[in-house]
Amino acid sequence: MTSVCMYFQVHQPFRLRRFWPDESSGFYRYFDERGNREIFERVARKCYIPANKVLLNSINEHEGKFRFSLSVTGTLLKQCELWGTEVLEGFRQMAETKAVEFLDETYYHSLSSLFEKKVEFIEEIKEHRELMFTLLGIKPKVLRNTELLYNNSIAKIASDLGYKAILTEGADHLLEGRSPNLLYRAKNLGLPIILRNYKLSDDIGYRFSARWWEGYPLTAEKWASWVSGIKEDCVNIFIDYETFGEHQWEETGIFTFLRELPGEVLKKHLNFSTPFEIVEKYSPVAEIDVGDFSTISWADMERDTSAWLGNDMQRRCFEEIKLLEPFVRKTGDSEILRIWKHLLTSDHYYYMCTKWLGDGDVHSYFSIYPTPFDAAVNFMVVLMDFKAQVFRKLRAIA
Amino acid sequence: MHLNDIIMESIEMGGRYSFDLSGPFLEQCRWDPELLESFHELEESGSVEFTGSCNYHSLSSLYPDLSWFNEEISIYREIIRELLGVTPKTFVNTELLYTERIGCNLAEAGFGCLIAEGSKNLINGHDPVNIFQNHLPTLLRHINLSEDLELRFLEKNADGYNLIPNKFADWIKSMEGDVLTLYVNYTNLCVHHTNENTIVDFIRTFPNALKIRGIEMLTPSEAVKRFSHSRLQTLETEQTIRYGMHNAIGNNAQQLYMQELVKIGEELSELKGSKAYWKLKQIFGYLQQSEIFFSMNSGSIREGYERAVNYFSILSDFRRAVLEEAK
């Protein structure tokens, strides 16, 4: 019996404000308190709260047969604590049902896994782990890295930290004709890898309301029948949680789809399994080898790091932040460290992306800036001010 | 170099000129002693006045505090004394920028004449053909005629062209007033010069064309001595005089760059007496060049802002060096 393994990514970044050097200080000298709150509250209203309700109802209705997994970033959980305890309460209830497996990732949805030195990456995973335990009383067993970024070194760290599996994209160039619907293992490690079925995932995440698409309109019944055509081990559906009500508006019928999906899938004699259940149930069939300079992700057509580090502006901002690490640590100032960590959040770099064709639409949809160039200049100016703060602090404690 | 020779010939025909050489240009002249020598010869002719300048061609006259502006004035005084042996009496600010505060500051710095832009918001439709007095005697550039000479020289089909000395001198003759200030970018003339010989002929014969019409060529300081000074109410303004400043400080990146320079300038001032101060000050000078500002707003937003990202990266590293030097 083929398993359907669903995981929803839940994330909101702390976006930067349009920086101007004024008298403000602390975290909100750089980050936009009001703007982030407004976006959070909108997404909570349109997506998180109603989607949580639909899913909780389905869990009850199907008495444990509907199971799925959530990966919630630290920055989103923090925003829930600040501005939306109702959302947090929904996650707590899900955790209590035991039908929802929560995954670990970096607290900041960051790009720290791309540093040559992995100290920060490990630290951020641990921060997330701690937060999951404090807020939800959970100890995740499976890791998924920011935007499914994956290479052998990342797998090594997941393995060293004791995770039982890692998730990444079932990219074509990685599989070279092999199926994403089987379990693989990381090179030289044996760590199981669960690969995303991007076709069936994107049918929901991207194409659900696309009128040009031959699959339109998509119903849960239709989608389940496609899935049932797969006779392999597991069909791994990884999508943004914001698909429900935010990327796909309520008017598109996305909530009806979500409500009907568990029943339709179960009718087709498929079962739902969470990532940890998948690795208990199946065995890896082959090795996956991704060198550190061929890192993959689920982003854009390229499925690589180019959405965040594709142009000179992005690489330069990233390099600057990276170079600052030892100085930030030397200050021993927890607020400076916290700001620096939030500057690693991948979204800042995504806004600077200049790949217009194909994926450009998606980038501009997610951006708060009129152009990627504004995003880069704003980031760099924040960085400049922050850097000065770091060195002033170092001078003060010298 | 070649143009300097032409100017020399023109001087022999009765021409009188003034030169505003930027600090970075003079520094670069050190690489070319022959070029420096040719400016020296122009100086010795007695028909050329060298003006004072904001050394790094910066926008420091717009900072809240004028101490860096004054610093640049004295640096420039030193370098032009060293290289050409002159002490400028007339001042030309970067991009001919003027505010009343700048005028007041220059008078205190001992200048006897200022050349500023004949902006529409100053002269209100009239030709700037007098010497105006506010804190110091001020000559205003005649925009249209200067641009005719500098930019439109080769647009042969436009009305009134091809520009020939006699025609140009006739236009000037037809104007009433004491003095007309033509201020052009020397490099632009050179650019045209490589294409055509007309500008060469123009410069050679223009003094004579003027002489025939009873018009004399003067240096700014001579003009100030010769004519009476009249008041121009609009000079008493804190509005910045110079059209097109949006090219320099019009967008967000430029504003932020300026803001950061001001901040770094303050931090750097506190380092006076420290070991690395002199070197840091010099780098700071070059980081202020107005060309950096202009390049953040030329071409598409893409080009401008990609450059800005680079500049901010550099500037932030410089600020780091300043902060690390502070003890």
Q: What DSSP line would sit under B57-106, residue for residue? A: -BSGGGSSS-HHHHHHHHHHHHHHHHHH-----EEE-GGG-B-HHHHHHH
| pLDDT, averaged across chain A | 95
Q: Chain A within 8 Å of B275 (Cβ-Cβ)?
A: no
Alpha-carbon distance values, A116 to A112, A153, A164, A167, B277 (Å): 9, 10, 24, 21, 36
Sort residue A75 into left (φ over 0), alpha (ψ -120 to 50) or beta.
Answer: alpha
Pick the residue with more confidence: B67 or A354? Answer: B67
Alpha carbon of A112: minimum distance to chain B alpha carbons (Å):
20
Residues of B in contact with A313 (CB under 8 A): 305-306, 309
Residues A329 and A251: their CA atoms lie apart, in Å, by 48
Q: What is the pLDDT of residues A186-244, one digit of tens each?
A: 999 999 999 999 999 999 999 999 999 999 999 999 999 999 999 999 999 999 999 99
pLDDT of residue B174: 92
Is A227 in contact with A268 (CB distance < 8 Å)?
A: yes
Q: What are phi and psi of A4, to 5 degrees?
A: -105, 120
What is the crossing angle of helices B33-44 and B2-12, to 10°?
Answer: 10
Tell me which chain B residues have a C-beta less than 8 angstroms from the C-beta of A378: 252
- The answer to whether B79 touches B26, Cβ cutoff 8 Å, is yes
Interface test with A, best of B268, B270, B312, B318 (most A CBs within 10 A): B312
pLDDT at A371 over 90: no
Read off the pLDDT of residues A67-110 as tens digits, 9 standing for 90 and up. Answer: 999 999 999 999 999 999 999 999 999 999 999 999 999 999 99
Nearest by Cα to A61 from A266, A345, A358: A266
Helix ranges (H only) for B227-300 are 246-249, 252-269, 277-287, 290-295
Mean pLDDT (whole number) for A141-154: 98
Q: Of A105, A120, A147, A169, which residue is the catalytic one?
A: A147
Rounded Cα gap, residues B324 and B327, in angstroms: 7
For residue B324, list chain A residues with Cβ-Cβ distance below 8 A: 391, 394-395
User: Any catalytic annotation for residue A116?
Assistant: no
Q: Are B53 and B91 in contact (CB under 8 A)?
A: yes
- Please give the mean pLDDT across all residues of chain B: 90
Of A376, A391, A398, the CB nearest to B320: A391
Residues B143 and B181 sit within 8 Å (Cβ to Cβ): no
Nearest CA in chain B to A20: B256
Which residues make Cβ contacts (< 8 Å) with residue A271, sequence separation at least 6?
A1, A2, A3, A4, A65
What is the C-alpha to C-alpha distance for residues B56 and B187, in angstroms, rounded to an integer? 17
In this structure, which amino acid lies at residue B291?
A: E
Whether residues A384 and B324 touch (CB distance < 8 A) is answered with no
Q: Is A271 exposed, middle or buried (0-12, 13-18, 19+ CB in 10 A)?
A: middle
| B327 vs B322: CA distance, rounded Å | 10
Q: Which residue has the tokens 């100890």?
A: A139
Q: What would the pLDDT profile of A57-66 be if each residue is shown by its tens digit?
A: 999 999 999 9
Residue with tokens 């959980």: A77
Calculate the CA A142 to chain-centre distance: 14
Query: Can you give B155-202 as a three-state secondary structure string?
Result: CCCCCCCCCCHHHHHHHHHCCCCCCCECCCCHHHHHHHHHHCCHHHHH
- Joined together, the tokens standing for residue A380 give 């760099």
Rounded mean pLDDT of A341-347? 98
Nearest to B103 by CA among B134, B68, B64: B134
Q: What per-residue confidence (pLDDT) applies to A364?
A: 63
**Cα–Cα distance, A369 to A376 (Å, whole number):** 10
Amino acid symbol at B57: H
- % of chain A with per-residue pLDDT over 70: 97
Nearest to B323 among A313, A380, A395 (CB): A395
Residues of chain B with pLDDT under 70: 153-163, 190-197, 240-244
The pLDDT assigned to A358 comes to 44
What CA–CA distances, in Å, run from B134 to B107, B233, B236?
10, 9, 7
Neighbours of B41 (CB within 10 A): 15
Helices (H) and strands (E) in chain A, counts: 17, 10
- CB-based contact (8 Å) between B310 and chain A? yes
How many other CB atoms are found less than 10 A from the CB of residue B160?
11
Contacts of A389 in chain B (CB under 8 A): none
Residue B283: C-alpha distances to residues A111, B80, B144, B289 (Å): 34, 19, 37, 11
With a pLDDT cut of 70, the percent of chain B lying above it is: 91
Question: How many CB atoms sit inside 10 A of residue A268's CB?
Answer: 15
What residue has token string 């929803």? A8
The pLDDT value recorded for residue A279 is 97
Nearest CA among B62, B68, B1 for reference residue B35: B1
* Close Cβ partners of A206 (under 8 Å, ≥ 6 residues apart): none
* Dihedral, CA of residue A341, residue A37, residue A84 and residue A126, to nearest 10: 0
Per DSSP, helices labelled H in A176-311 are: 198-205, 220-228, 254-267, 275-281, 306-309
pLDDT band at A357 (very low <50, low <70, confident <90, very high): very low
Asked whether the predicted pLDDT for residue A179 surpasses 50, the reply is yes
Compute the distance between CA of residue A40 and CA of residue A35 in angstroms, rounded to an integer.
9
CA A386 and chain centroid, separation: 26
Q: How far apart are CA A196 and CA A169, in angstroms?
A: 5
The helix (H) or strand (E) run that includes residue A3 is strand A3-10
**Nearest CA to B95 among B119, B122, B77?**
B119
pLDDT confidence tier of residue A361, bands split at 50, 70 and 90: low
- A271-306: pLDDT as tens digits: 999 999 999 999 999 999 999 999 999 998 889 999
Write the single-letter amino acid at A231.
Answer: K
